[in-house]
Amino acid sequence: MLDENPFGSFKKECEETLKTVIKKLYPEFQIQKLVLEIPPNPQYGDLASSICFELSKTYKENPETLASKILNEILKLKFNLIWKVETLRGYINFFVNLPKLAEQTVNLAEKLKKEFGLVKTEKPEKIIVEHTSANPSGPLHVGTARNAILGDALARILTARGHKVKRHFYVDDVGRQVAIVAYGYRLLGEPKIKEKPDKWLGFIYTATNCAVEIKTLKEKIAKTQNQEELERLKRRLDEYAAVAVELESTHKEEFYKILDGVNSDPNPNQTIEKIIVNYEKGEKETKRLVRRIVKECLKGFRETLKKAEISFDSWDWESSFVWSGKVWEAIEKLKKTPYTFTRDGALVFNVQLAAETLGVKQKIFGESLFEVPQLVLVRSDGTTLYTTRDIAYHLKKFEWADRVVNVVGVEQKLAQQQLKTALLVLGVEKALNSLIHYAYELVKLQDYRMSRRRGKYITFDELIDEAVAMALNEVSKRSLNLPEKQKQKIAKAVGIGAIKYTMLSVSATKTVVFSWDKVLNFEANAAPYIQYAHARASSILRKTKIKPKKPDYALLQNPLEKQLIIKLSMFPEVFCEAADNLKPELLAEYSNSLADAFNAFYNKLPVLKAEDKALRDTRLKLVKTTKIVLENALNLLGIKTPGKM
């Protein structure tokens, strides 16, 4: 049976060789962690160990002397994938048997094809990945797009690793933003929605919020005596007045109808709060109104996500956990613990006391947070908060799941920590290590500041449409003779792939700065660049009807060939690390570096016109393997690989 991880096998052989020799020479030495790194220069080997520097501290010998002793013992052993071993300045350098590594990698890729590199875990889990979960009060925007793309990639990667994964969308329909939309929609007389529903409801949200803010600010200005506060309020009023002008320019009649309705309401904020209270109580008319607009908004979400080829297994309504009594069941259980108390009519959860008593404060909150904020579970008016309802939702999740991954913005860190503490109090012990807050940072657009409340944002739809249009222009310039339909299909794959790669190539903990010149780059570190490398490989394979005979990997002597072979052999290793550590950016980085290695090989070394047939056939095997690996790697990120570009 072929080993599914060629480079991993080489690495394991190096590790075991070192451990065997060190145990023989220094039996009392305890190896804490044996690290093997790829040297900065290939002439120093394919893997190197600095273990002699650790040994030097214990045995007070020069690392170079220790390395020589170890090397002498290593050379007495028999090898499989190790070709030779050398020492340099105290480092032990291992060189791989390249023909053997190439043969193993190519044979495995040809045998497994779409499964190559996707090594299955020995401990499969049931995992829920909850992502996107956008407020149903307007369209998905560029920030939400990052959430959706990250969550989809994580689900794909974990599934490929052999876990049973379910994708969940949490419909946040019990909150102020949805209540504002319901209020504005009612002021308009609940008209029939004629355009994309999430976009239309986004206008209603912004218009209603703007009208309420203007009325509220005017009332505050009339009562304020403090000059500094007065100036601050006037500046805010000017900002919303500018928003009003923009809204008037797009939907004049509807905006003024909302504005008039808000101005004729003695207390619009109180009306909105009443909608929140009535909806949570399940009052018939409010329930009908809110459910109608949320369902319409979700239609728009589904349409957008379908374009991006992102889907869900379950749409979980927040309200259902309230109306079914599950939220209050959780609250009653928490009330029976010593960690809740009443303050000014509100029910409060003492998170710090709970975390300290359970001995998990440092693990959950770290050392930096000296005092953990308390969590209000129920307001004095009897309504619950988002995190309270989230407790009931997660009790349900953990009935099935071994692990829950929540793709939620970094700003929700405290809420996720409070949630984890509450679950531990309620006896969900696995939540300590198996409730994962996959935090992500914002997306910034150059020279553009987004604000949902002010209606200043770029929608996911606009992002996709712009990317596809720009990709079509580029594809048309590069492939003049392709049929128009095929150009459009390629442009869609390239445009959407470009957006996804941009969101995934940066660690989730870092801000994405979005600029079109980098996103749609065909020359370096972008999805089109990687897709173009795949198209090149496909083109070579299309041009030949030759079925390569038995290749001779010993013929591959060029450094560019070696670089490509090693990079191909590393795919399973990178995949396992990305899956086990939830790091899709590793696959993005790997795909780009593989494209670099293949392009260098392609530009310098002839394949179909190689010096002799055996070399041609062997290089064709590398081309075919590159095509397989690029497809598999990009597929894990939700990115398509067109055969032509």
Q: List the CATH number of the domain containing 54.
A: 3.30.1360.70
Compute the average pLDDT of residues 197-210.
Answer: 96
Helix (H, G, I), strand (E, B) or coil at 210: helix
Q: Are residues 507 and 602 in the same domain?
A: yes
Compute the average pLDDT of residues 334-362.
Answer: 97
Tell me the pLDDT tens digit for each residue of 374-417. Answer: 999 999 999 999 999 999 999 999 999 999 999 999 999 999 99
Task: Say if residues 197 and 295 touch (Cβ distance below 8 Å).
Answer: no
Q: Is residue 120 part of a domain?
A: no
- Nearest-CA neighbor of 536 among 641, 413, 380? 641
Q: Are residues 619 and 508 in the same domain?
A: yes
pTM for this model (two decimals): 0.93
Which CATH number does the domain housing residue 597 bear?
1.10.730.10
Q: Which one of 258, 280, 307 terminates a domain? A: 307
Residue 367's pLDDT band (cuts 50, 70, 90): confident
Q: Is residue 464 part of a domain?
A: yes
Which CATH number does the domain housing residue 363 bear?
3.40.50.620
The structure tokens listed for 629 are 């690996």
Q: Are residues 58 and 169 in the same domain?
A: no
The structure tokens listed for 339 are 């960690």
The structure tokens listed for 363 are 């693990």
Q: What is the per-residue pLDDT for 446?
A: 64
Q: Which residues pair with 316 in a beta bridge?
A: 170
- Nearest-CA neighbor of 313 among 201, 401, 199, 415? 401
Q: Average per-residue pLDDT in the chain? A: 94
Q: Are residues 338 and 273 in the same domain?
A: no
**Domain range for 269:** 176-307
Q: Is residue 565 part of a domain?
A: yes
Count of domains forming the chain:
4
Task: Say if residues 623 and 607 touch (Cβ distance below 8 Å).
Answer: yes
Q: Are residues 85 and 145 in the same domain?
A: no
Q: Are residues 577 and 429 in the same domain?
A: no
Residue 1's pLDDT band (cuts 50, 70, 90): very low
Compute the average pLDDT of residues 58-66.
Answer: 95
Q: What are phi and psi of 30, to 5 degrees?
A: -95, 115
Q: Are residues 167 and 184 in the same domain?
A: no
Q: Which one of 263, 281, 307 terminates a domain? A: 307
Residue 624's pLDDT band (cuts 50, 70, 90): very high
Q: Is residue 623 part of a domain?
A: yes
Q: Is residue 76 part of a domain?
A: yes
Q: What is the per-residue pLDDT for 194?
A: 85
Residue 449's pLDDT band (cuts 50, 70, 90): low
Q: Are residues 520 and 593 in the same domain?
A: yes
Q: Is residue 279 part of a domain?
A: yes
Task: Say if residues 565 and 556 touch (Cβ distance below 8 Å).
Answer: yes
Tell me the pLDDT tens digit for each residue of 215-250. Answer: 999 999 999 999 999 999 999 999 999 999 999 999
Q: What is the per-residue pLDDT for 515?
A: 79
Q: Which one of 252, 272, 307 terminates a domain? A: 307
Query: Does the pLDDT value for residue 289 go beyond 90?
Result: yes
Percent of the chain with pLDDT over 70: 98
Tell me the pLDDT tens digit for each residue of 412-433. Answer: 999 999 999 999 999 999 999 9
The helix, strand and coil proportions of the chain, stated in percent and rounded to the nearest 5, come to 60, 10, 30
Q: Is residue 102 part of a domain?
A: no
Q: Are residues 320 and 271 in the same domain?
A: no
Query: Does the pLDDT value for residue 455 go beyond 60?
Result: no
Q: Are residues 412 and 509 in the same domain?
A: no
Task: Say if residues 231 and 215 touch (Cβ distance below 8 Å).
Answer: no
DSSP letter, residue 385: P
Q: Are residues 478 and 557 in the same domain?
A: yes
Q: Are residues 528 and 540 in the same domain?
A: yes
CA separation (Å) from 575 to 116, 391, 438, 584, 591?
10, 33, 18, 9, 11
Query: Does the pLDDT value for residue 278 go beyond 80?
Result: yes
Q: Is residue 319 part of a domain?
A: yes
